[in-house]
Chains A and B, each alone.
Chain A
Amino acid sequence: MSHNLLGPRDENGLPVPVTLDESIAKLKSTLLNNIRRSAYVYRVDCGGCNGCEIEIFSTLSPIFDPERFGIKVVPSPRHADILLFTGAVTRAMRIPALRAWESAPDPKISISYGACGNSGGIFHDLYCVWGGTDKIVPVDVYIPGCPPSPAATIYGFALALACWIRRLTASSTMPPPPSLPPCFIPPCRSRCACCSTAKRDGWRAIAMAARLPIVL
């Protein structure tokens, strides 16, 4: 029967503990020290055509499996660390989107997903369209595409994770983010996007997500 058991086994058929490569072990410890938990994603539909949603769900399929990186979609913004905004922001959906953003706990990352989320896409000059997620909330990562392919989505998630690590490590020393002004236009870009070290951390996060040693 022993040939039917999965993984390496000793003579008694018990699993042999997995030994890690030194580089992988180092990356794993960095990952655990930096994040210590999974990133939960909440998807906010701001009036899109549902093409982006279909592509997000194909990203969640076992083929691409973002749960490898601890990325999980949750049904409530109150559980979310990452908010994924899809669709050109329509007049009807701007308030629900803002409410979702308000109800997500800090530190949160907002991703603008797809051509519509980035700039309004082909709907950019419509009368009822705000044209872009960054018109209502501060955006940390922009994922272009119409819709972005699952692999592009995973790459975007890696950038978001980098941003999130930055936010988590910075939040203990930095003041809380300023609240939004009464108008819907945010006062500035995200703090972490302005940080000069964000890029370096981003590549580190991708390396960790990919389990690859990348020379920084």
Chain B
Amino acid sequence: MLKLIKKVLKTGDATVAYPARPVDLAPNFRGKPEYNAQQCIACGACANACPSNALTMTTAADGSSVRWSLFLGRCIFCARCEEVCPTAAITLSQAFELSVWKKEDLFETADFPICQCRKCGKPYAVQKEIDFALSLLQESAALSDQQLAARRVQYETCPECKKMHSLTSSDRINIGRHLTTEAR
């Protein structure tokens, strides 16, 4: 028994002083997903990857905006969203004190305007996503401002209108130009 007491005295106090002092967290501890709406392009990759549907993208009924929303109460802190995010807008922080009294406090949302098609005026893609693609093009292909303006017109047209456009201009194409005169 004396041996045991000696051991107990030697071991000392194992209890962490958590509420009084911050707790030691592992460097790769996955806490609250910190979201930066400035950085986000609303591509929806995180909502696609989220295994528990804590992250969702919903389009407003009038089609004017897309809402990114995180329900922390459903989040399983797997960091798949951090993996797939192309712009590093979402990172899992070390924050773990997430308890709340009201369920509403577990929700986090951000709204993004949708681009209207230049031809038909229908909403079809998030404006920020288009801007991101254009800025990527400008950087990688070194486009001039004039070229970029032309691309912008093209990018801000919905796929249906683009198809219609290529259909109407097909009368310029001479289908029979490779055929021999006998076949005509």
Contact = CB atoms under 8 A, between A and B. Distances in A.
Interface of A: 62-65, 68, 115, 118-122, 124-125, 132, 134, 139-146, 148-149, 151-152, 154-156, 158-159, 163, 189-190, 192-193, 198-199, 202, 206, 209-212
B101 A202 contact: yes
Interface stretch (B16-24, B39-47, B128-136, B176-184): B16-24
Contacts of A63: 14-16
Chain B interface SS verdict (over half) = loop
B109 interface: no
A148 B52 CA distance: 16
Contacts of B100: 141-142, 144, 159
Contacts of B102: 142, 189, 193
B148 to A, nearest CB: 44
Q: Which 7 pairs of residues, A with B, have the shortest CB-CB distance?
A: A118-B73, A210-B19, A146-B76, A156-B99, A122-B52, A119-B73, A151-B23
B74 to A, nearest CB: 4
B106 interface: yes
Nearest to A123: B52
A152 B97 contact: yes
B101 A193 contact: yes
Given A63-B14, A124-B52, A143-B99, A158 B76 contact: no
Interface in B36-58: 51-54
Contact of B96 (A124, A134, A151, A198): A151
A158 B106 CA distance: 18
Contacts of A148: 96, 98-99
A166 to B, nearest CB: 10
Given A158-B19, A212-B19, A144 B99 contact: yes
Given A64-B15, A121-B74, A151-B23, A143 B98 contact: yes
Contacts of A212: 19-20
A139 B19 CA distance: 24
Contacts of A68: 15
A121 to B, nearest CB: 6
A122 B51 contact: yes
B32 to A, nearest CB: 8
Contact of B106 (A142, A202, A209): A142
B167 to A, nearest CB: 42
A110 to B, nearest CB: 12
Interface of B: 14-16, 18-20, 23, 29, 51-54, 71-78, 96-103, 106
B33 to A, nearest CB: 11
A148 B20 CA distance: 19
A162 B102 CA distance: 14
Contacts of A189: 102
Contacts of B20: 210-212
Given A115-B73, A151-B96, A140 B18 contact: no
Q: B16, B71, B99: which has the most chain A beta carbons within 10 Å? A: B99
Given A115-B73, A121-B74, A145 B101 contact: no
Nearest to B14: A62
B71 A119 contact: yes
A144 B75 contact: yes
B99 A141 contact: yes
Contacts of A143: 98-99
Contacts of B51: 122
A65 B15 contact: yes
Nearest to A189: B102
Contact of B52 (A121, A142, A206): A121
B78 to A, nearest CB: 8
Contact of A154 (B19, B53, B98): B19
